[in-house]
Amino acid sequence: MILSELHLHHFRNYEDQTVHFAPGVNVLIGHNAQGKTNMLEAIYALSLTRSHRTNNDRELINWQEKSASISGVVQKASGRVPLELQFTKEGKRAKVNHLEQARLAQYIGQLNAILFAPEDLSLVKGAPAVRRRFMDMEFSQMSSKYLYNASQYRSLLRQRNKYLKQLKYGQQHDRVLLDVLSDQLAAYGAELVVARFHFLQQLEKWAADLHYQISLNAEKLRLVYATQLKVTAETTVDDAYQQLLTIFKENKAREIDQGSTMFGPQRDDIRFLVNGKNVQSFGSQGQQRTTALAVKLAEIDLMKEQTGEYPLLLLDDVLSELDTVRQTHLLTAIQDKVQTFLTTTSLSDVARQLINEPTIFNIKNGTLIKEEE
């Protein structure tokens, strides 16, 4: 899929900007605080209806204005699809083919994008919550069923946690309702656990191959899904549901005492093993970066396998964080395969030689100017 056109209106520091992108590598060059990351943020928001930098949508609206909009045209194998996203103080509205979508979940998946920013290097060494968010954000784009189950699970988890707190402090006494919530939570939780296991198996297949190449055939990468359930390739959703339900029943008193849900996919993690050792604890910084890069690049192929279309790749000032070997692997991996948006303060000689006919845009104070060839 290709994002051929983008229009920003009162978004961050962009007043009114229309830009036409090339299907290959689009390089956004500019000094700091000129709007490079804002442009990538707009593309990411058009894809996932939310920013990767803030949970407060009001921050996306130019501070002097009451609303902002992002619209674009996506070229897919099936044809041309206009998308639009509007942000107001009251909330946000999404349109596909000029038709408003009743729920944002119906919109997600129209434009798939993978973002790789310097903070993504913390995917390996960061907290488990970073890796859970990574799974949810990426797998939701690949499967509408996963997106639905994750949304339902989060909603039920909030309800159950609230009810556990009320039981703890004696504000409620009916344990039958707790059993009902546990049953519903186990049903959606089982779907998530089984889906995550299978998606991670597929991701490992691509990531291991890339990691082997980047490490010059010296390291073998494995992804291990760390969950509280016993899950194998043969585990069915019903098996996982029965396991979760049993855990909830056996730990009912303990969870009431804690006032929160202590078991389920909200406690999951991914372990990255290189040559059998946990990279998070025992890997060098170079190995951690190689692992993060391999996993991010593997997503491109996994998304193509799952959806039939390559996603957009957004690289936010990543080149400055990678050495020459990793830069080379990154740029050759994406060459002539995915539409790429790359921000940088300056393009190194290595990058210029590796990128095949880049389209360069100079950004200054929220204005994009295409560099003439």
The tens place of each residue's pLDDT in the chain, 373 residues long, gives 999 999 999 999 898 999 999 998 999 998 888 889 899 999 999 998 988 888 888 888 888 889 999 999 999 988 999 999 999 888 899 999 999 988 888 888 899 999 988 878 789 989 999 999 999 989 998 999 999 999 999 999 999 999 999 999 999 888 999 999 999 999 999 999 999 999 999 999 999 999 998 888 889 999 999 999 999 999 999 999 999 999 999 999 999 999 999 999 999 999 999 999 999 999 888 888 889 989 988 999 999 999 899 999 999 888 777 778 878 877 887 777 899 999 988 877 657 777 878 889 999 888 888 887 6
Residue 248's nearest CA partner among 317, 184, 154 is 184
**Residue 152: CATH number of its domain:** 1.20.1050.90
Same domain, 9 and 87: yes
Q: Answer yes or no: is 152 a known binding residue.
A: no
Q: Answer yes or no: is 34 a known binding residue.
A: yes
Q: Answer yes or no: is 88 a known binding residue.
A: no
Q: Residue 73 is part of which domain span?
A: 1-112+309-373
Which residue, of 263, 287, 307, is where some domain finishes? 307
Q: How far is the C-alpha of 186 from the C-alpha of 180, rounded, in Å?
A: 10
What is residue 349's predicted lDDT score, i.e. its pLDDT? 62
Q: Domain count of the chain?
A: 2
Q: Report whether 144 contacts 101 (CB < 8 A).
A: no
Same domain, 108 and 14: yes
Same domain, 237 and 352: no
| SS3 state of residue 219 | coil
What is residue 223's predicted lDDT score, i.e. its pLDDT? 96
Q: Answer yes or no: is 329 a known binding residue.
A: no
Identify the sign of the CA torsion 232, 234, 297, 366.
Answer: negative
Same domain, 345 and 254: no
Same domain, 293 and 177: yes
Same domain, 170 and 135: yes
Same domain, 193 and 89: no
Same domain, 47 and 177: no
CA angle 288, 293, 299 (to 5 degrees): 130
Same domain, 224 and 279: yes
Same domain, 266 and 330: no
**Residue 370: CATH number of its domain:** 3.40.50.300
- Give the DSSP H or E segment for 165: helix 144-168
Same domain, 222 and 369: no
Which residue, of 291, 307, 323, is where some domain finishes? 307
Q: Give residues with Cβ within 8 angstroms of 257, minimum separation 6.
A: 168
Q: How far is the C-alpha of 13 from the C-alpha of 48, rounded, in Å?
A: 20
Q: What is the pTM of this model?
A: 0.87
Q: Answer yes or no: is 246 a known binding residue.
A: no
What is residue 55's predicted lDDT score, i.e. its pLDDT? 85
Which residue, of 267, 284, 307, is where some domain finishes? 307
What is residue 333's predicted lDDT score, i.e. its pLDDT? 77
Q: Answer yes or no: is 264 a known binding residue.
A: no
Question: What letter would DSSP give residue 111?
Answer: S
Quote the distance between the C-alpha of residue 309 and its chain's center: 17
Q: Answer yes or no: is 36 a known binding residue.
A: yes
Q: Answer yes or no: is 33 a known binding residue.
A: yes
What is residue 373's predicted lDDT score, i.e. its pLDDT? 63
